Structure 1
């Protein structure tokens, strides 16, 4: 089996590539940086530039499925200009793949695309599953809706469409967890706002496994990429501190303070989404990391 991955050199992409190679799945990948192009037996790089609609169509050779992860980071200040980059990077890349496959002879039968739980409204009481469709009107929700709609275009080519709505990804290689760890290690950690907001998290290893499970079992539709036990921001902060054996001495960090620092992006820290993993579990997927403390012990063992 051979898959084409966009965003293969990012945090999630690298983990998926590792799992592919462990399962003898060969990888083609697209990159906007020619210096990141490698060519080995099971790892072939190809250049693309979605903004100029430039793509090396050799990337599709021998490919059975696409894993679509590419998109600009949401962890940079959301200026008006950068908001456009966040949206266009997802839409343009997806559309370029679809347009490039039109009229081509290919063997691709499935696309598994990244999405995000940010599409669900901020709520302390709701428990969201994939059937919920009264989506939020926040910036992130608008991005996710537009991204998922663009991915649906693959179905017009007879390609099965699958989407994984990703939650808070916990990793020791970068991402949100490492940013949370820094102040706690210095004794400056504290929950955000009330601390009651739900954080639907997933260990990076399990997230990669979800993508490949959806791929190998040809599961169509939407799946939440979250672990079975969401926690509050307070519980998350306290558990990180416990695993690191650090005290939490400061009062909760008020929302207005983080809004001053981060602007609109502060909603990433304060919005609450309690999200269900039942659908993927009902399909037979078994999580390695069910519980937050054991996941954090695995990830922070050497901190």
Structure 2
């Protein structure tokens, strides 16, 4: 049994991961700005505060904290929130672990599939490929740099570059369940996805098997926005309208944020599979039916 501290533990992935870790008899602690339960501890990265009890005798830290990428338009202020909620939080934890000389067994951090940049190409991106130069690529670069500083303390670091997480409640799938399902823009952009249980099992694997490094955490089955929309419409038994929502309209509504709806690439899951991980939900059809 390991003692695990989870940031972002009250979010979409954090809630499910906490439940699965608890089922496996791990002790889970959660950092929260407004702790309500006995396993929740207060922190406020804007003030540089973190309850010391949260990291007392801790074995692993899973860093999921981060403001939603697609929740609000990307104003200058929102961009700062997106960055700081990922980077400043990791820096705060690093400073605490370093100052108290806590011998962590591992620091496991989320990152984004947009690491490679929001672009639509024939290329299938591997973990060794270059970082994108756009906003989200640079967010991921700084996010991962904040995680990798734990290596300076001889703490193993694992980074999971995650695609769109499909979950029964909340998240992207809830927003996609529209009365009529249509593709967006060209419809040819790829949508890297993963079932929430497969993602959580990867975090558990990182704890229980002590593997480190950077991994693309996406399903092996790739889909364009068009094929994803068709599969979704069948799964939720709603009409599919092949006429796409125009890109200019999405840009008008969402501003710069629209790029994550209109562009997307394929990511290779080969590295994580070579580590022995077996996806439960490889096929999108089966994943959607389970949800």
Answer yes or no: is 1:77 the counterpart of 2:78.
no
Q: How does 1:24-103 map to 2 (within 5 A)?
A: 24-33=25-34, 36-39=35-38, 44-75=39-70, 76-103=72-99
Tell me what 1:140 maps to: 136
Instruction: Tell me how far apart the structure 2 counterparts of residues 268 and 14 of structure 1 sit (CA, whole Å).
Output: 25
Q: Is the 8 A contact 1:114 1:165 kept in 2?
A: yes
Taking only aligned residues, the RMSD between alpha carbons, in angstroms, comes to 1.1
Q: How does 1:244-283 map to 2 (within 5 A)?
A: 244-249=236-241, 251-283=243-275
Q: CA deviation at 1:73?
A: 1.2
Instruction: Tell me how far apart the structure 2 counterparts of residues 83 and 196 of structure 1 sit (CA, whole Å).
Output: 27
| Structure-2-length-normalised TM-score | 0.96
Instruction: Tell me how far apart the structure 1 counterparts of residues 247 and 101 of structure 2 sit (CA, whole Å).
Output: 53
Q: 2:232 aligns with which of 226, 229, 240?
A: 240
- 1:177-218 per-residue CA deviation (whole Å, 9 max, x = no partner) reads 11011x2xx23x210111111111100111000111122111
Tell me what 1:161 maps to: 157
Instruction: Tell me how far apart the structure 2 counterparts of residues 18 and 268 of structure 1 sit (CA, whole Å).
Output: 30
Q: Is the 8 A contact 2:189 2:265 kept in 1?
A: yes
Aligned residues: 288
Q: Is the 8 A contact 1:109 1:158 kept in 2?
A: no
Q: Is the 8 A contact 2:103 2:155 kept in 1?
A: no
Match of 2:132, SS state, is coil
Q: Is the 8 A contact 1:46 1:56 kept in 2?
A: yes
Instruction: Tell me how far apart the structure 2 counterparts of residues 142 and 238 of structure 1 sit (CA, whole Å).
Output: 32
Tell me what 2:11 maps to: 10
Q: 1:180 aligns with which of 172, 176, 186?
A: 176
Instruction: Tell me how far apart the structure 1 counterparts of residues 282 and 243 of structure 2 sit (CA, whole Å).
Output: 29
Answer yes or no: is 1:210 the counterpart of 2:199.
no
- Segments of 4+ moved more than 4 angstroms: none
Q: Is the 8 A contact 1:37 1:47 kept in 2?
A: no
Q: CA deviation at 1:102?
A: 1.6
Instruction: Tell me how far apart the structure 2 counterparts of residues 270 and 156 of structure 1 sit (CA, whole Å).
Output: 38
Range moving further from structure 2, 208-217 or 100-109 = 100-109
Q: CA deviation at 1:230?
A: 1.3
| Structure-1-length-normalised TM-score | 0.93
Answer yes or no: is 1:116 the counterpart of 2:112.
yes
Instruction: Tell me how far apart the structure 1 counterparts of residues 277 and 43 of structure 2 sit (CA, whole Å).
Output: 34
Match of 2:29, SS state, is strand
Q: Is the 8 A contact 2:162 2:216 kept in 1?
A: yes
Q: Is the 8 A contact 1:124 1:196 kept in 2?
A: no
Instruction: Tell me how far apart the structure 2 counterparts of residues 72 and 243 of structure 1 sit (CA, whole Å).
Output: 29
Q: CA deviation at 1:250?
A: 5.5
Answer yes or no: is 1:293 the counterpart of 2:285.
yes
Answer yes or no: is 1:126 the counterpart of 2:101.
no
Q: CA deviation at 1:289?
A: 0.3
